[in-house]
Structures are given as C-alpha cells and as structure tokens.
Amino acid sequence: MNIFDELKARGLVFQTTDEDALKKALAEGTVAYYSGYDPTADSLHLGHLVPILVCRHLQLAGHKPYPLVGGATGLIGDPSFKDAERSLQTKETVDGWVQKIQGQLSRFLDFENGANKAVMTNNYDWFGSISFIDFLRDVGKYFTVNYMMGKESVKKRIETGISYTEFAYQIMQGYDFYELNRLYDVTLQIGGSDQWGNMTAGTELLRRKGDKTGHVITVPLITDSTGKKFGKSEGNAIWLDADKTSPYEMYQFWLNVMDADAIRFLKIFTFLSLEEIAELESQFLAAPHERLAQKVLAKEVVTLVHGEEAYQQALKITEQLFAGNIKELSAKELKQGLSNVPNYTVKTDDSHNIVELLVTSGIVNSKRQAREDVQNGAISLNGDRIQDLDYQLTDTDKIDGELTVIRRGKKKYFVLTY
C-alpha cells in the first residue's frame, strides 16, 4: 500500500493541495518534508502528537523529516482561530522551550540512522539575521493584503482586532517553507487542519518567488464520538512531558476512551498494522466489556511516548490500586496514581489518633462520623482496615517515610504527607 493511502486509511489525512501529485512524488522517491511546532509552552501535548505520528510514518516509509521548532515564530504567536492575542514571551523563555520541545521530538523520529535520518531545524536561524527592510522587499511583496485577509484564521479576528504582529504570522510561516526548500529541498509540509491558511501561504510563496511546487497535508482535528475536542482531561491538556502528565495519568486517559472511539484511535495513534487492528477489532466486538482495544491503545501510546518501563509502572499502579494493594507501591508510584486525590500535610502538633486525624485532615466532618466510619470498617490505612478507635499512626504507617494512604469506603482515597 502506498504510504499516502495508508495515512488516509488510518484517518490521518484531512486536506491536501494536490493528492495525485503528492501520491506520485511519495511513490517515486524520497520526499523531504517538515512539520513546525511553536514553543508556546515548555512541552508539546496530545494535539501535537497526530502530525508527529504522520512524520514518523513517512520516515518509516523512507522519506526524510526536517522537524522545525519555531524559535522565531514562537516569539510572535499564531493567531489561527484564537479568540485573543497570545502573551509574548521573552527570548530566554522561548529558547528554553525550544530545547525542551526539540528533546521531545527526538523521541519520535530517528535522528541518527540512515540516509533519511531526521534533521532538526529552528526558524530563528534565518529570521534572526534578516532585516525588516529585506523581509518586506524580498518576501512581503509576494503577498497582497486581500490574500492575507481572506484566510479563515484571520477573518475570525478582524472583527475583534488583530495586531500587525499576528497578522504577519502567515508570511513568516510561508517563508519557513521557502527557506527549508532552498536549504534542504523540502517539498511537503504537514500540520493541523487549523493551519491550512498558513501552510498554503508557503506553497504560494514557493510558486511565486521560487517557481516551485510545494505540497501540504493537514491532519484532522481529533474529536471523540460525541464531537468533543480530543486531548483534554478534566479541562487540562494531556502533555507529552512526564512531569506535567505522568505516564499513569496518560495510561488512564487512553484506558477510559469510549468504546465507539477505541478502534479509530488505534488506527490514528499506534503503529500496529491495519491487519492487526482488524483482528483486535473482531476480538473487541466479541467481548467489549473486557476493554481489550483500550488496553492495547493505552499500552501502545504510553510505550511510544514514555517507553516500556514507564508503561510497566503505569500498569502496575493501575492493577495494585484496583486491588487495594497500597503497600505493593512505592511513594513515587503512589504520587503518580493518587495525584488527583485530596492531600493533607500533617503538622507537628496534629494528633496522630486515627479519629482525630480523620477530622483534622478534612476526610470526615465530625468526630462522631469518624468514630462510626472506623467502627464500621470503612477506614483503611495503606490497605489495612482500621477499627480501633485508639489507633495511633506511627512512622511504620509512612510509606518510604513520605506518605500514608487512607481509603474511606471502597473508592475514596486521601493522602497524608509529612
């Protein structure tokens, strides 16, 4: 199967500039391509993963990637479908974010092996030395204001106001394509569907200034079966940085996708073959309650993003918490697994009596309720049921000397830290 046809079969293609010409180019030889990522935070998130995976598919098919981190465009801010202008960051902040994002991209693409090994690029390398006058004369003259205002990403902001800084962003992104073509013969750009206007600004500049043809692939905005934008959990982005979204949290996110989405997401977010996914689908449909598709999806994505060891740890935390085997987990593992539960830091003058501590920590509202819960067997300490009203917590109740886990009832967890 042609790599373009496989990308389409996986649901990874939303728009292209000239599908037949692009398929022909991909079939006939090595295509140099790029996808750009602006450092608007210190980490990429799940929304960035889809174009990254397209880049990886293309590299595995023999094509050569030139991932770009926008050290220059990150200083400006992309207005595409944003309700308001971004806050501008300092050069030092953006430079630090560039390095972190470059490190993340290096986990998905091969920068070391083969003739098609990836080459990292940064658009500050060409924008940092070009003068404003030269840019207006050599680039700006190829864009009419009418053309720029016709972009959907700009139209939305015209009514509320858009600064010249953000208005000019599409020219900067267009110039990226031109420079990468000049330096490395890059002829294909990959990005999100919201980037269509900026990306076609690049093909227009290539045509008018360089008399060359460039191609564009946009990936779809991923939504779940209810139409909700995918990649958010409890209102927060799912980050690719383990310190911002732990491997356990990411594992749980994928484990909990709806049945109606699981097979589609296996095609989009994993490198299992379409034949393997078809086999998984038949097993999944025969016994959906076993959630095989979600388990495989969670395993594949967490392993891809964080590695096999992180996946095994996430699986261990999941299984031991489900079984209530708190003592089988380290403090580090429990901090991952219970990061979203209520937390109370025990003070030096707090009573360590179980009844008193239940009230002080806010786990229950009154001593009467605390005594009832303890006597009824509703309180567990690190997985062990406590029914003694006079029980005193000691250092032996601290896991790795750092925390104690209290469970009230079957599912309500609380963490005491010291």
End-to-end CA distance of the chain: 58
Q: Is the pLDDT of residue 384 over 70?
A: yes
Burial class (CB in 10 A: 0-12, 13-18, 19+), 247: buried
Q: What is the mean pLDDT of residues 144-157?
A: 81
Q: In CATH, which superfamily holds the domain spanning 232-323?
A: Tyrosyl-Transfer RNA Synthetase (1.10.240.10)
- Please tell me the predicted confidence (pLDDT) of residue 157: 77
Confidence class for position 162, pLDDT limits 50, 70, 90: confident
Angstrom distances, CA of residue 107 to CA of 100, 245, 263, 307, 352 = 11, 16, 25, 9, 47
The answer to which of 131-135, 161-165, 190-194, 232-236 has the lowest mean pLDDT is 232-236
Q: Which two tokens stand for residue 279?
A: 């086999």
Domain boundaries, the chain: 3-219, 232-323, 343-417
Domain with residues 343-417, CATH architecture = Roll (3.10)
Detail the residues annotated as belonging to a binding site for ATP: 232
Q: Is the pLDDT of residue 234 over 60?
A: no
Detail the residues annotated as belonging to a binding site for L-tyrosine: 34, 169, 173
pTM reported for the whole predicted model: 0.87
Helix ranges restricted to H, 81-218: 91-105, 124-127, 132-138, 145-149, 152-158, 164-167, 169-184, 196-210
- Please tell me the predicted confidence (pLDDT) of residue 148: 86
Packed helices 259-269 and 292-306: angle between N→C axes, nearest 10 degrees: 30
User: Same CATH topology for 232-323 and 343-417?
Assistant: no
Q: What is the mean pLDDT of residues 162-181?
A: 90
Confidence class for position 249, pLDDT limits 50, 70, 90: very high
CB 216, CB 17: distance < 8 Å: yes
Detail the residues annotated as belonging to a binding site: 34, 169, 173, 232
> CB-based contacts of 28: which residues, under 8 Å, 6+ apart?
none
Cα 84 from Cα 67, distance rounded (Å): 27
- Please tell me the predicted confidence (pLDDT) of residue 9: 97
Class (C level, CATH) for 3-219: alpha beta
CB 290, CB 299: distance < 8 Å: no
Confidence class for position 85, pLDDT limits 50, 70, 90: low
Cα 71 from Cα 49, distance rounded (Å): 19
Q: Is the pLDDT of residue 101 over 60?
A: yes
Confidence class for position 226, pLDDT limits 50, 70, 90: confident
- Please tell me the predicted confidence (pLDDT) of residue 5: 96
293: left (phi > 0), else alpha (psi -120 to 50), else beta?
Answer: alpha
Q: Is the pLDDT of residue 255 over 90?
A: yes
Confidence class for position 235, pLDDT limits 50, 70, 90: low
Q: Which two tokens stand for residue 104?
A: 């993340």
Q: Is the pLDDT of residue 81 over 60?
A: no
- Please tell me the predicted confidence (pLDDT) of residue 36: 96
Look up residue 47 and give its amino acid: G
Cα 173 from Cα 170, distance rounded (Å): 5
pLDDT 10s digits, 287-329: 999 999 999 999 999 999 999 999 999 999 999 998 889 999 9
> CB-based contacts of 109: which residues, under 8 Å, 6+ apart?
52, 55, 56, 59, 65, 67, 118
- Look at the block and give the residue holding tokens 């404003």: 132
Average pLDDT, the chain: 93
Rg of the chain on CA atoms, in Å: 26
Confidence class for position 154, pLDDT limits 50, 70, 90: confident
Q: Which two tokens stand for residue 27?
A: 């079939």
Residue 395 carries which DSSP code? Answer: G
- Please tell me the predicted confidence (pLDDT) of residue 224: 83
Among 380, 235, 402, residue whose Cα is nearest residue 333 = 402
Q: What is the mean pLDDT of residues 31-48?
A: 93
Angstrom distances, CA of residue 99 to CA of 34, 43, 70, 71, 88 = 18, 10, 11, 10, 18
Percent of the chain with pLDDT over 90: 80
